[in-house]
């Protein structure tokens, strides 16, 4: 539970060497410039004033970097919250949003303290890859209007509607805007050939801003888009709040929604960032930092915040490797908001779009997607579904569907891996070599001594709900004149309730067919389950054997007794 910044500062001599501090500062400045219009636009879309978006990026962004468990996470308002925030404000007002955000922050701190962050480790690689690629496509689609200067005022949030509107208005391309955006992309792409120290995105921003200002080009800028933005940051006045107990109860649900959404998005962003920088984040500390950041944002009138994947990726691509970049990003936004707002208003929107287009390309991980397409069908299904649901719907739906599909496919793979094989004197036994151990030889000879009416089935793999039907199907094929069946369970590490129910049905079927069922070499967990449920006492402890050898001897004795009994009856009849 130690913030990543504190660990890095403790080893500053190694962590910040080689000009890393300079890279972090430059990256923080660039990310701040990228975050400026995004924060304002997201605030407006959420139903609050533009300055609230900047307040969120400054306060939450600073706290997430200062206390977070990730090296490169950039926090602030994101598009995932727009619909949720707008709905809360519409129903409960801004005061309701503030209370819900504070409650969400408390929930997230609780998640972190309970170490729920480790759950993210179980998200499959195809899911994170599909999610990242989907975010890249979504990010790219949001920049088309600004990059080409289409002049569309109200761009739909739905992916297909958005692109349909783009195609219908593509004849309205504004050439000066497009050329400035194209010029910015060319600088970003080719500048590293000239100088790799100063990022090309920063040069592109400066160059495009100067060109637009000097030649007075009719290109939309931050100022022309958003107008004058307030520079005041003040602590919220709770005296004006009129929140009742019933309303507080009603706010628990939206607060939990904010908490879960912020947790999922921030941890996934951290996971994606880990893959990009080859480091590992502290998920529980990250959750605590996200909770504190949301509380801090709400106390200064901001909106919910989380780790922003696009801005985090931009930070990484521009050289950021420590939380210092995120802190600089917050401080630069504060500086812009307080002092340099007139200069920031001159930045062309198409240049920012150009930077995000390059970021989207770098985020797309198309090489990883291409490699996964050569993998198994199940991995392809998870990748494709997560990608499509991210693009068409949103990240929450994508993660839910992707995880459900991944879990079902995993269960299927596990069930397919269960082997239930018959081993007897007539079945094909593996030929043993001189390298096999003595135990294998003894077991091989023992199996050859099975009586004709004794059948030995060896089960390999965990017996769980996914394999229960396969277990039943194999055992249902018992349609021969057998008197004793031995289930060898040496390689069954565990068993669940569904498999146990299947075992009970097999036991009943064998009893109906007058077949004695014996069990050999049951491991600790399955045996504990059978004991706790009374299965052992109900069927008799004499049916359970510690070795397969003992079970076979017992089975052979039973067959010999039956054979002797039949012979005696035959003599008596004569």
Please report, for the chain, the start and end positions of each structural domain, with discontinuous segments joined by +. 4-228+267-409, 418-573
Nearest 5°: the CA angle 206, 210, 215 is: 155
Long-range contacts of 232-241 (CB under 8 A, 24+ apart): 232/51, 233/55, 233/58, 233/59, 233/300, 233/334, 233/337, 234/300, 234/301, 235/299, 235/300, 236/98, 236/298, 236/299, 236/300, 236/301, 240/95, 241/95, 241/98, 241/99
Q: Name the token pair of 494.
A: 């565990």
**DSSP label at 463?**
B
Looking only at the bridges linking them, the beta strands covering 516-520 and 544-545 are parallel
Distance of CA 118 to the CA centre of its chain: 11
Which residues partner with 568 through β-bridges?
Answer: none
> Angle between the 125-148 and 377-392 helix axes, to the nearest 10 degrees?
40
**DSSP label at 429?**
P
Distance of alpha carbon 261 from alpha carbon 263, whole angstroms: 5
Distance of CA 361 to the CA centre of its chain: 21
What are the backbone dihedrals phi and psi of residue 290, each rounded to the nearest 5 degrees, phi first?
-65, -40
Indicate yes or no: pTM above 0.75.
no
| pLDDT values of the chain reduced to their tens digit, one per residue, 574 residues | 789 999 999 888 888 888 899 999 999 998 998 888 778 777 876 778 778 989 999 999 999 999 999 999 999 988 777 767 877 887 888 899 999 999 999 999 999 999 988 776 677 778 878 877 887 887 788 789 989 999 888 777 678 888 999 999 989 999 999 999 999 999 989 988 887 656 677 788 889 999 999 999 999 987 887 777 777 788 888 877 777 788 888 899 889 888 887 898 899 889 889 988 988 899 999 999 999 999 999 999 999 999 988 889 889 988 899 999 999 999 999 998 888 777 777 888 898 888 878 877 877 778 888 888 888 788 888 889 889 988 887 666 777 787 788 878 877 777 777 777 777 644 433 333 334 444 544 555 555 667 778 888 888 888 877 777 777 776 666 655 678 888 999 989 988 888 888 888 888 888 888 889 999 999 999 999 999 999 999 989 999 999 988 998 898 888 888 777 766 666 555 5
In this structure, which topology does domain 418-573 adopt according to CATH? Transcription Regulator spoIIAA (3.30.750)
């Amino acid at each position: 539970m130690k913030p990543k910044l504190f660990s890095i500062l403790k080893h500053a001599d190694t962590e910040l060497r080689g000009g890393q501090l300079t890279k972090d500062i430059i990256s923080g400045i660039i990310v701040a410039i990228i975050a400026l219009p995004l924060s304002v636009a997201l605030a407006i879309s959420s139903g609050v004033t533009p300055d609230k978006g900047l307040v969120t990026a400054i306060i939450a962004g600073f706290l997430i970097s200062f206390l977070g468990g990730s090296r490169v996470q950039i926090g602030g308002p994101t598009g995932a919250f727009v619909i949720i925030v707008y709905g809360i404000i519409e129903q409960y007002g801004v005061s309701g949003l503030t209370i819900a955000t504070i409650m969400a922050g408390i929930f997230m701190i609780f998640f972190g303290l309970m170490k729920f962050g480790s759950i993210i480790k179980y998200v499959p690689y195809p899911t994170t890859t599909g999610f990242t690629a989907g975010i890249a496509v979504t990010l790219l689609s949001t920049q088309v209007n600004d990059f080409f200067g289409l002049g569309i005022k109200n761009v739909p949030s739905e992916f297909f509607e958005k692109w349909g509107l783009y195609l219908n208005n593509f004849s309205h391309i504004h050439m000066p805007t497009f050329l400035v955006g194209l010029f910015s992309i060319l600088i970003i792409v080719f500048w590293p050939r000239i100088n790799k120290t100063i990022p090309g995105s920063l040069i592109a921003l400066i160059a495009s801003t100067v060109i637009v200002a000097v030649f007075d080009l009719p290109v939309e800028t931050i100022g022309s888009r958003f107008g004058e933005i307030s520079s005041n940051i003040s602590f919220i006045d709770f005296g004006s709040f009129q929140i009742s107990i019933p309303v507080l109860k009603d706010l628990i649900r939206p607060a939990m929604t904010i908490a879960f959404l912020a947790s999922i998005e921030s941890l996934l962003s951290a996971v994606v960032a880990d893959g990009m920088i080859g480091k590992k984040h502290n998920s529980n500390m990250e959750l605590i930092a996200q909770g504190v950041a949301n509380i801090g944002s709400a106390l200064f009138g901001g909106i919910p915040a989380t780790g922003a994947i696009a801005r985090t990726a931009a930070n990484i691509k521009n050289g950021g490797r420590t939380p210092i970049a995120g802190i600089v990003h917050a401080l630069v936004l504060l500086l812009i908001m307080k002092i340099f707002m007139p200069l920031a208003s001159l930045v062309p929107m198409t240049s920012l779009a150009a930077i995000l287009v390059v970021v989207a390309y770098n985020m797309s991980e198309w090489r990883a997607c291409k490699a996964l397409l050569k993998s198994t069908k199940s991995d392809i299904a998870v990748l494709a579904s997560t990608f499509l649901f991210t693009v068409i719907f949103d990240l929450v739906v994508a993660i839910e569907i992707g995880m459900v599909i991944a879990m079902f496919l995993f269960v299927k793979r596990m069930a397919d891996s269960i082997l239930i094989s018959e081993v007897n004197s007539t079945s094909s036994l593996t030929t043993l070599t001189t390298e096999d151990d003595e135990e294998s030889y003894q077991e091989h000879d023992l199996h050859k001594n099975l009586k004709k009416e004794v059948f030995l089935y060896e089960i390999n793999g965990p017996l769980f709900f996914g394999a229960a039907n396969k277990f039943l199907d194999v055992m249902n094929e018992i349609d021969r004149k057998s008197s004793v069946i031995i289930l060898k369970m040496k390689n069954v590490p565990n068993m669940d309730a569904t498999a146990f129910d299947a075992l009970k049905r097999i036991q009943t079927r064998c009893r109906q067919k007058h077949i004695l069922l014996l069990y050999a070499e049951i491991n600790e967990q399955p045996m504990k389950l059978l004991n706790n449920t009374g299965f052992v006492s109900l069927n008799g402890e004499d049916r359970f054997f510690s070795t397969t050898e003992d079970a076979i001897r017992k089975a052979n004795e039973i067959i010999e007794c039956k054979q002797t009994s039949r012979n005696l009856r035959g003599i008596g009849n004569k």
